[in-house]
């Protein structure tokens, strides 16, 4: 492919994660780093190398055959404005969800898409919410082993899903609590430090219930594509952690399951299963890891047909790897521009 690949919002948490995944997968591919704003700067990649981030201007998009949208939604819409009438039509891989309601948008999650699943390169490829991908991957494999009757899933959301501002606010709240200073509340509009939130404050820019609905909607689509496992009852809680999903899942099967069989059959290249002899997985341990990790699998003491599962995943890595998988397939098919 002669054209470059662009990452718009490359200074964001998702943008940095994409850069790391791409450096492992596409060592020889030219990548243009573009900021989410009209001003660019120097961003240090590691101890030995610095990278120039170009401002979000039309000239920096013109050579792109494929563009990852990894910044805020306003930057994604700005890209569409800049490309309008330019004659440049790169394939768009949207991690911001800004374009998911457009008619040409298609929800993507290659980690669980069945073999032969095909989406036209001319589509806008919207990467599904990382929690929906994580749960779909789990339920898809589980339903193939033992038919699921119903399930209830509790998702513990990390602050990094609200971007750098979410991380900074949680950090500052934690520090200020120890020094008895007022807490910043611009992102969550509530105390998150040392606290759990079923909903954000009324003045928060994002609403936790809107995120919950998006996960539910994306999960329904992914399960329909993959295994047709029944849609779970789902609840999202904001946890006072910086990175990584922790998920508690209660699953009732059509018949009493054998835990040893479930453990053996669940394990795959994308699903690590911890047995009782190992430490249960944690969101801290999931940082930088591919796929998902399961552990603490136990029978429900009050229901012989039900089990509890504990699941963790790196939310940023899940999104970035699925985006790169989409792009890799498109480039292999010669879909470098629309």
Contacts of 204 (CB under 8 A, 6+ apart): 187, 188, 189, 190
Contacts of 160 (CB under 8 A, 6+ apart): 13, 166, 167, 242, 243, 244, 315, 316
In whole angstroms, give the CA distance from residue 20 to residue 167.
19
Residue 116: per-residue pLDDT: 82
In whole angstroms, give the CA distance from residue 176 to residue 143.
46
**Contact at 8 Å (CB) between 18 and 323?**
yes
Nearest one of 311, 299, 291, 232 to 261, comparing CA atoms: 299
In whole angstroms, give the CA distance from residue 78 to residue 324.
22
Residue 169 reports pLDDT greater than 60:
yes
**Contact at 8 Å (CB) between 128 and 225?**
no
Residue 43: per-residue pLDDT: 58
Residue 47: per-residue pLDDT: 41
- pLDDT tens-place string over residues 101-151: 999 999 999 999 888 888 887 899 999 999 999 999 999 999 988 999 999
Nearest one of 290, 301, 219, 300 to 252, comparing CA atoms: 300
What domains lie within the chain, and their CATH numbers? 4-127+320-332 (3.40.50.720), 132-315 (3.30.360.10)
In whole angstroms, give the CA distance from residue 218 to residue 129.
7
In whole angstroms, give the CA distance from residue 157 to residue 154.
10
Residue 209 reports pLDDT greater than 60:
yes
Contacts of 162 (CB under 8 A, 6+ apart): 169, 187, 188, 206
Residue 196: per-residue pLDDT: 96
- pLDDT tens-place string over residues 266-320: 998 999 999 887 888 999 999 988 999 999 999 999 999 999 999 999 999 999 9
Residue 135: per-residue pLDDT: 97
Residue 49: per-residue pLDDT: 61
pTM: 0.93
In whole angstroms, give the CA distance from residue 206 to residue 213.
12
Please indicate whether residue 277 or residue 333 has the higher confidence score (pLDDT).
277
Residue 1: per-residue pLDDT: 43
Residue 40: per-residue pLDDT: 58
Find the largest Cα–Cα distance for the chain: 63
- pLDDT tens-place string over residues 59-99: 888 888 899 999 999 999 999 999 888 778 888 999 999 99
- pLDDT tens-place string over residues 24-58: 777 667 788 988 876 556 555 544 566 788 888 88
**Contact at 8 Å (CB) between 253 and 148?**
yes
In whole angstroms, give the CA distance from residue 78 to residue 336.
21
In whole angstroms, give the CA distance from residue 118 to residue 125.
12
Phi and psi (nearest 5°) for 190? Answer: -170, 165
Nearest one of 88, 49, 53 to 71, comparing CA atoms: 53
Residue 39: per-residue pLDDT: 59
DSSP 62-130: TTEEEEEE-S-HHHHHHHHHHHTTTS--BEEEESSSTTTTSTTEEEE-TTTPPTT----TTSEEEEPPH
């Amino acid at each position: 492919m002669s054209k470059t690949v662009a990452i718009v919002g490359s200074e964001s948490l998702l943008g940095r994660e994409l850069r790391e995944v791409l450096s492992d997968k596409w060592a020889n591919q030219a990548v243009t780093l573009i900021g989410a704003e009209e001003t660019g700067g120097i961003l240090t990649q590691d101890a030995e190398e610095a990278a120039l981030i170009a401002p979000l201007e039309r000239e920096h998009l013109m050579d792109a055959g494929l563009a990852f949208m990894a910044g805020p939604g306003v930057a994604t819409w700005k890209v569409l404005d800049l490309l309008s009438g330019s004659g440049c039509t790169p394939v768009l891989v949207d991690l911001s969800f800004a374009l998911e309601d457009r008619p040409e948008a298609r929800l993507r999650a290659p980690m669980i898409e069945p073999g032969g699943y095909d989406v036209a390169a001319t589509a806008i490829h919207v990467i599904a919410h990382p929690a929906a991908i994580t749960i779909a991957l789990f339920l898809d494999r589980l339903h193939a082993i033992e038919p699921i009757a119903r399930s209830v899933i509790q998702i513990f959301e990390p602050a990094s899903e609200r971007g750098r501002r979410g991380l900074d606010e949680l950090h500052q709240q934690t520090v200020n609590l120890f020094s008895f200073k007022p807490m910043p509340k611009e992102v969550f509009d509530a105390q998150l430090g040392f606290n759990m939130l079923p909903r954000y404050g009324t003045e928060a820019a994002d609403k936790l219930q809107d995120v919950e609905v998006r996960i539910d909607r994306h999960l329904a689509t992914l399960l329909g594509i993959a295994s047709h496992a029944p849609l779970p009852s789902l609840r999202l809680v904001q946890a006072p952690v910086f990175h990584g999903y922790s998920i508690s899942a209660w699953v009732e099967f059509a018949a009493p399951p054998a835990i040893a069989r479930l453990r053996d059959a669940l394990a795959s290249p994308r699903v690590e299963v911890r047995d009782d002899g190992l430490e249960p997985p944690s969101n801290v341990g999931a940082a930088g890891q591919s796929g998902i990790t399961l552990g603490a699998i136990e029978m429900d003491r009050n229901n012989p047909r039900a089990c509890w599962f504990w699941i963790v995943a790196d939310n940023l890595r899940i999104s970035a790897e699925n985006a790169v998988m989409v792009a890799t397939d498109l480039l292999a098919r010669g879909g470098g521009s629309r």
